[in-house]
Amino acid sequence: MNEVGTDKAVVVENLERRFGSFVAVNRISFEVAKGEIFGFLGPNGAGKSTTIRMLTGILAPSSGTGSVAGFDVRTEAEKIKAHIGYMSQKFSLYEDLTVEENIDFYSGIYRLLPEKKQERKEWVIEMAGLREHRHSRTAILSGGWKQRLALGCAILHEPPIIFLDEPTSGVDPISRRQFWDLIYELAGRGVTVFVTTHYMDEAEYCDRIALIYRGELIALGTPATLKTELMQEEVLEVLSERPQDAMDGIAALAGVKEVALFGRGLHVVAEDGESVAEGIREHLTKKGFAVERVEKIVPSLEDVFVSLIEARDRAEQAQQAVQA
């Protein structure tokens, strides 16, 4: 075995993938520790799936290096495949096969021993809550069931690392919650979970998050670090009467960078929270809006990411303007 650091499940350095002239993943580098839940967050088309496909050995990188479970993604893809479980974005089981037939098929592919096979099959059926549907064709199952069954089939062989590509897209909130309980359970047993998502709330469940945008890694850290350290501006929560009507007036105030509706109030992004808070109070009172509260809060991940992405876009535009 090619030991690349015993506590690392995934190591990536300058990994790049181009499709023609389009750069889908632009020289990203990061590490994932063993037993970690690592969230890969970004909008659609940011390069999340491309990255996960390179790590699972089903897509060759254009350049850069990476290792998964100690194996090189460029030269030892087949060895990686024996040590991981992968669940692709699209439902990838056979719809004309029954629940049991799908499980049997994958236990055959992973060559589980007969006694192990039976045990794992029961485990998957229990875990996915499919006891009553074990002889049903998977085509008739609901989204949540399909997802759990797909996860079960991907981890029949109890791999130490699992890759989940948007596992909860298109699934109802309760099923999503159950799915995350499963992920925690797996992580609790020491399994490394690499999961992509575009749901902000899901990102909060991860030990660490990488934000990927237009193929580039623009932030990396624990949810807490990202929220407290990465955002230069401060966020104020404003609770007042008719927040929608109050928005425009606040946006025009000096020092306010951005105003957005959030829950039943407003989130205001400003360089200097203290002084702007005073200004907002005065402004709202003067205009006759009853003010309930104006205070500095810890930004949500969404605030952080929107701010980071906008900063990135502004920098890019400036660069283009200079080049032009």
Partner 1 sequence: MKLRRVRAIARKEFIHIFRDPRSLGMAIAIPMLLLMLYGYALTLDVDNVPLVVWDQSASQASREFISRFDGSRYFSVRGYVRTYREVEEAIDSAQALVALVIPRGFAGRIESGRPASVQLIVDGSDSNTATLAVTYADAVALAYSQQVAVGQIQRHGNRVPRAPLEFRPRVWFNADMESRNYIIPGLIAVIMMVIAAMLTSLTVAREWERGTMEQLISTPVKGRELILGKLIPYFSIGLFDVLLAVLMGEFVFRVPLRGSVALLFTCAAIFLAGAMSLGLLISIVTKSQLLANQLAMVMTFVPALLLSGFVFAIANMPKPLQLITYLIPARYFVALLKGIYLKGVGLEILAGEAALLTLFGAAMVLLANITFKKKLV
Position 101 contacts partner 1 (CB under 8 A): yes
Q: What is the C-alpha to C-alpha distance for residues 300 and 267, in angstroms, rounded to an integer? A: 10
Binding part of the chain for partner 1, among 148-156, 278-286, 300-308, 312-320 by CB under 8 A, reads 148-156
* Choice between 54 and 306, CB closer to partner 1: 54
From candidates 4, 23, 33, 97, binder to partner 1 by CB under 8 A: 97
From candidates 16, 72, 104, 207, binder to partner 1 by CB under 8 A: 104
Position 246 contacts partner 1 (CB under 8 A): no
| Residue 293, H or E segment | strand 291-297
Exposed (0-12), middle (13-18) or buried (19+): which is 257, by Cβ within 10 Å?
middle
**Residue that the structure tokens 């624990």 belong to:** 222
Binding part of the chain for partner 1, among 79-87, 121-129, 207-215, 221-229 by CB under 8 A, reads 79-87
Measuring CA to CA, which residue among 236, 148, 159, 145 is closest to residue 194?
Answer: 159
Lookup: tokens for 73: 């993604």
Position 105 contacts partner 1 (CB under 8 A): yes
Position 96 contacts partner 1 (CB under 8 A): yes
Return the SS3 of 214: coil
Position 187 contacts partner 1 (CB under 8 A): no
Q: What is the C-alpha to C-alpha distance for residues 303 and 56, in angstroms, rounded to an integer? A: 31
Is the CB of residue 94 less than 8 Å from the CB of residue 138? Answer: yes
Position 184 contacts partner 1 (CB under 8 A): no
- What are the two backbone dihedrals, phi and then psi, of residue 192, each rounded to the nearest 5 degrees? -85, 130
Return the SS3 of 112: coil
Q: What is the C-alpha to C-alpha distance for residues 141 and 196, in angstroms, rounded to an integer? A: 23
* Choice between 153 and 231, CB closer to partner 1: 153
State which of positions 7-66 bind partner 1 (CB under 8 A).
Answer: 19, 53, 56-60
Closest separation in Å from C-beta 56 to partner 1: 5
Lookup: tokens for 19: 């499709």
Closest separation in Å from C-beta 86 to partner 1: 4
Binding part of the chain for partner 1, among 27-35, 97-105, 213-221, 276-284 by CB under 8 A, reads 97-105
Q: What is the C-alpha to C-alpha distance for residues 141 and 149, in angstroms, rounded to an integer? A: 10
Closest separation in Å from C-beta 82 to partner 1: 4
From candidates 12, 37, 77, 246, binder to partner 1 by CB under 8 A: 77
**Contacting positions for partner 1 (CB under 8 A):** 19, 53, 56-60, 77-78, 81-82, 84, 86-88, 90-97, 101, 104-111, 150, 153-154
